[in-house]
Structure formats: structure tokens, C-alpha cells
Amino acid sequence: MAMPILELRKLTKRFGNLIALREFDLDINQGELIGVIGPNGSGKTTLFNLISGYYRRFEGEIIYRGKRISGLRSDQIARKGIARVFQSYVLYEDATVLENITRCFYLICKTNSWQSFFNTSRYCKEEVTQRAEAEELLQPVGLAEFRDSLAGKLPYGYCRLLALAMALATNPTLLLLDEPMAGISHEEKGLVINLIKKLGDQGITIMLVEHDVKAVVDICPRLVVLDFGRKIADGSPEEVTTDRKVIEAYLGVEEG
């Protein structure tokens, strides 16, 4: 069996007396599309905060492609090919939509800072191709016509789509999506679901934290359920949705 792309070993994160995540274990295989669900405050976002290096002090180990990444800074983790889309409004608000995307090409630039400083022809060429690539990335999320508007002025749904396009600009191997469907319209939701499926088909490993259980059940072949910082279920949507503990903790409450 192939080595998992991401191994989480006994992850525990405390905030004072509150334990946000408790001895969390998970193996994710290359190309998997895995949904993480759980009620509010169950530790979903904390999990992403640990993987992406937002919190650097915690117990346990994170191993990515056989190498330990726990304790590294966010930028070092991003450099290894892990991209994260934030739950809330995290954009370069004072820049245009297109500029937001180009800023995310930082990791995949082929020319170095010196070439860029002296404005060499290779750098100029790369700038032109990057602009084209950025416009291409805006197509599937339907933001091409907004490329010159300020990101801070976009309606909320578009912001989420832009954030998704920005994460893709870094050409990630592992994509962490934090509630990409929260607070967006029905059509936009369709757009996001299609995009996620397409990315899955391209072989990108995706971890999807979502509140909307229905959407996750539809697209993720594997689900992990969190409750009070513990993993209470892990399996196919059928297994998980029929699991008694899950129904009690989450679906039961949700369905009244």
C-alpha cells in the first residue's frame, strides 16, 4: 500500500483548560477527497490551523509525504505544496482581483528576485504568462469580468470563489478548504462543488471542512466526524451517516 500523503498523529491542542482537539489521528492518501464534518466548535478549524502552521505549539505530529512538518512556519508548509482557503474574509482587499491571483504565484515563479529587480526579458515574459494564467484561473470561478475590481469591494460569495482560485494559483498538492460553501448562493455552491470535483479528478488531495453535511456527503467518498475535539467516526458517507454516535452528536441535533 502507498504511503499516505498526510499522517496526523495524536494531535492535541489546548487553549488554557479547553481542549479544542484531542488525540486526533488520521491518514490521508494521495488523491483522496476527504470531508471533515462536525458541529460548531468541534475542532474542525483548529485542525486546519494546526496543519497549515497557524498554531505552532501543540502536541502530536504531522507528517507530510514522510516528513515531519509540525512546528514549521506557515510559509514553510505552504512551500511544501499545502494550500489553505480560509473560512473568513482573507484576501488582499486593497488589490484588484487579478492582482490577488498574481500575488499567489510567489511560490511557482521561475525567475529569481534579481532577475525581477533588473527587469530581465525572462522576467518580463514570465510576468506576461502569469497574467494570462491568472485570467485563466478566474474563468472557472466566474470572476473573469471582475478582474479589475478591488477585492475588498466584492460581494461575500465572490470573495470565497476568489479565495479558492488563489489557493489553486499556488499549484497545491494538498488543498485545505475551510467551509468553502458557507454563506454563498445556490448557483455559487454548484460552481464550487463542480470545481472541487474537477480538482479531485486532477489528482489534488483535498480536505474539506464543511458545515453543510448534505453537500459533503454528495462529493466526498470519505468522511471524518469530529465532536468536542475527538474523532468519532471515519468512513464512507453511508457508514458515517448511519453511525449511531454521529447521529447523536450531530445529525440528530441537525435533523431535529
DSSP-derived 3-state class of residue 154: coil
Q: From residue 114 to residue 153, what is the string marking binding to another protein with x (rule CB under 8 A)? A: --xxxx---x------------------------------
Tell me the one-letter amino acid at 42. Answer: S
Does 110 bind another protein (CB under 8 A)? Our answer is no
**Sequence-ordered list of residues with C-beta below 8 angstroms from that of 166, at least 6 positions apart, any chain:** 85, 91, 100, 101, 103, 104
Q: In angstroms, what is the minimal distance from the CB of 191 to another protein?
A: 22
- Picking from 43, 51, 44, the residue whose alpha carbon sits closest to that of residue 14 is 43
**53-72 binders of another protein (CB under 8 A):** 54-57
CA angle 48, 52, 58 (to 5 degrees): 75
Nearer to another protein, 107 or 251 (CB): 107
Rounded to whole angstroms, how far apart are CA atoms 162 and 138? 8
Helix and strand numbers (H, E) in the chain are: 11, 10
Q: In angstroms, what is the minimal distance from the CB of 28 to another protein?
A: 19
Binding segment (CB under 8 A) for another protein, from list 24-32, 88-96, 228-236, 248-256: 88-96
**169-188 binders of another protein (CB under 8 A):** 170
DSSP code for 146: G
Nearer to another protein, 112 or 185 (CB): 112
Among 25, 93, 218, 239, binds another protein (CB under 8 A): 93
Q: In angstroms, what is the minimal distance from the CB of 205 to another protein?
A: 17
Chain Cα centroid distance, residue 109? 22
- Picking from 135, 149, 55, the residue whose alpha carbon sits closest to that of residue 95 is 149
List Cα–Cα distances, 115 to 79, 102, 120, 236, in angstroms. Answer: 21, 17, 5, 50
Does 241 bind another protein (CB under 8 A)? Our answer is no
| Residue ranges that bind another protein, judged by CB under 8 A | 15, 52, 54-57, 73-76, 78-79, 83-84, 86, 90-95, 102-104, 106-107, 109, 111, 113, 116-119, 123, 166, 170
